[in-house]
Amino acid sequence: MMRIITSLFILLVFASGHTEPRHAAGIASAHPVATAAGFEILEAGGNAFDAAVAVSATLAVVEPYSSGLGGGGFWLLQQADKDEAVMIDGRETAPLQAHEKMYQDEKGNVIPGLSMDGALAAGIPGEPAALAHIAKKYGRLPLSASLAPAIRAAREGFRVTPHYQRMARFRLQALRASKAASAVFLYRDEVPHEDYIIKQPDLARTLEAMAAHGAAGFYQGEVGKKLIAATGKAGGIWTAEDLQSYAIKERKPVTGSWYDYRITSAAPPSSGGIAIIEMLNMLENDGLRSLTGVARKHLLIEAMRRAYRDRAEYLGDPDFVDVPLERLTGKGYARSLRETIAPSRATPSRELKPAAPIPEGRHTTHFSILDDEGNRVAATLSINYPFGSGFMVEGAGILLNDEMDDFSAKPGTPNAYGLVGAQANAIAPGKRMLSSMSPTFVEGPDRLVILGTPGGSRIITMVLQGILAATDGQSASRIVTQPRFHHQYLPDVVQFETQAFTVGEVLGLQRMGHKLKQLRERYGNMQVVILDKARHSVSAASDPRGEGLAQVKKISRKADSP
């Protein structure tokens, strides 16, 4: 299947519809069924926010290894007539009975796997509350309408792909450990064959409960009871109070500038927005646009190193710790960091002020939407590891996240590098764990770019490289396709996709003292939608590394749509 579909539409004035369309609509998501669900809702009279509910809920069904109702995420929304975006923080929270040492044994050693597999690894899900909130406050259609495509997909089923098989193989043990998960996602306890159809009738019923009762259909009633009973039986610590007190937060996104573009990205508890702005600020006087080769890559690596060091020391849930946001995203602070970058020598990470690196999950999903009126959404959602904790709540069809692994399991104690830190991201009851998810808008006089990607701690440097390409005028397909590289302070190594560096660049960077690691596999799954403001044209692309679909369509709304 052709994995990248880009198209272009010049504005046509249509006569019908209650709001005059400005241009075509674009949706890029990690699964063709989810992209189709988004367009179905736009065509039924919904706006980008209704479509976001439909795409999120459908991804929860057809991409169960990436996100789900048992997980959480960040939805960056901007209404067409507003100058500012809002971030819906639907991040999971630590259960009220959680405590700082819950994943340690009596000797204080971290027990391997406990924060990754099974019911104890799961934070209280935020996605159901976020979807109900988005539909009610920003959507135009009832939640029941926007959930309909997901309910259908859960009942009719979706096809197993080679990517699904890879993910299921990776998490086979955890899935086998849960009878309900194995029954749904495996075939006789083995990875199902390609094209096998995965049906989820229990999940369809849970979605129907949400369609009828909103968030209460998940956190209360029969579904709520099943969640508490099943987690309790499996060694979890959830209580009814955990579910009833879960609340999304509307947060002000982090903003910054790059040349004449405004960058809007995720606020804490994501570390993404702050780190991205910090890196851009460090490099703003370097003429990066005209720099090429080793000189450019050296500067980018050194900026990554410094931003990730700060991330490890300062960032956590802003409702629990004071995050020095103004300072970290300030130009003066970035200048002081820039002065520490030598022009032709790598700074060993151990020469920077020490901080403990933060452990982090691998999976997640992203989608980008621009509707025909100019409303926009960038959303990154997660259940952390592929298939989350692997634990499914019997009878509810809910696969639980293992987002608790994004907390520091042992803060305040020297880690393997002899470093102390990460107290800002210590576990506490009701606290949100630090994330890297970075849904982002890039807006300048000529174009608006909506982008994001999964990929654990590498999300932030992927989005950085996406922003640089976007502000250099690159096409949507070039932005998602370009080869990537990454440095995260510790381990002190630059990971790179095969084509990210030429042989000459490898040698040049090594001469400067950079340690390089060429990856065998490519990483990330970026989804991009672009509006060309002068031509009122829209383009979109889905990362060729994934199985997603990007489409641009003129929306013909049904005559009786609201």
Q: Which residue, 403 or 497, has its beta carbon nearer to ligand GLY?
A: 403
Residue nearest to ligand GLY (CB): 435
Euclidean distance between the first and the last CA atom of the chain, given in angstroms as a whole number: 36
17: nearest Cα among 52, 56, 47, 37 = 47
542: nearest Cα among 35, 8, 10 = 35
Structural element, H or E, at residue 537: strand 537-542
Q: Which residues contact 516 (CB under 8 A, 6 or more apart)?
A: 493, 494, 496, 501, 506, 509, 510
Considering the rule CB under 6 A, would residue 364 count as an interface residue with ligand GLY? yes
Rg of the chain over all Cα atoms, to the nearest angstrom: 22
State yes or no: is 329 an active-site residue: no
282: nearest Cα among 261, 260, 299, 262 = 299
Q: How far is the CB of 439 from ligand GLY (least distance, A)?
A: 11
254: nearest Cα among 282, 284, 280 = 280
Considering the rule CB under 6 A, would residue 269 count as an interface residue with ligand GLY? no
| Residue showing tokens 């987690």 | 231
Q: How far is the CB of 488 from ligand GLY (least distance, A)?
A: 12
Q: Which residue, 24 or 121, has its beta carbon nearer to ligand GLY?
A: 121
Q: Which residue, 70 or 214, has its beta carbon nearer to ligand GLY?
A: 70
Q: Which residue, 146 or 408, has its beta carbon nearer to ligand GLY?
A: 408
Backbone angles phi, psi at 345, to 5 degrees: -145, 130
444: nearest Cα among 371, 527, 560, 533 = 533
Q: Which residue, 48 or 437, has its beta carbon nearer to ligand GLY?
A: 437
Q: How far is the CB of 455 from ligand GLY (least distance, A)?
A: 8
Considering the rule CB under 6 A, would residue 456 count as an interface residue with ligand GLY? yes
Binding mask 522-551 for ligand GLY (x = CB under 6 A): ------------------------------
Catalytic residue among 6, 58, 264, 364: 364
Q: How far is the CB of 435 from ligand GLY (least distance, A)?
A: 3
352: nearest Cα among 284, 394, 279, 303 = 303
Backbone angles phi, psi at 183, to 5 degrees: -60, -35
Q: How far is the CB of 479 from ligand GLY (least distance, A)?
A: 21
Q: How far is the CB of 133 from ligand GLY (least distance, A)?
A: 19
**Distance from C-alpha of 95 to C-alpha of 239, rounded to nearest angstrom:** 8
Is the separation of the CB atoms in 206 and 223 below 8 Å?
A: yes
Considering the rule CB under 6 A, would residue 408 count as an interface residue with ligand GLY? no
Q: Which residue, 38 or 72, has its beta carbon nearer to ligand GLY?
A: 72
Binding mask 415-454 for ligand GLY (x = CB under 6 A): --------------------xxx-----------------
Residue among 70, 217, 361, 390 that touches ligand GLY (CB under 6 A): 361
* Residue count, binding to ligand GLY (CB under 6 A): 10
Is the separation of the CB atoms in 11 and 22 below 8 Å?
A: yes
Q: How far is the CB of 74 from ligand GLY (least distance, A)?
A: 9
Is the separation of the CB atoms in 439 and 452 below 8 Å?
A: yes
Q: Which of residues 365-404 bind ligand GLY (CB under 6 A)?
A: 382, 384, 403
Q: Which residue, 160 or 427, has its beta carbon nearer to ligand GLY?
A: 427
Q: Which of residues 149-208 bind ligand GLY (CB under 6 A)?
A: none
Residues near ligand GLY, by CB under 6 A: 361, 364, 382, 384, 403, 406, 435-437, 456
What residues are labeled active site?
364
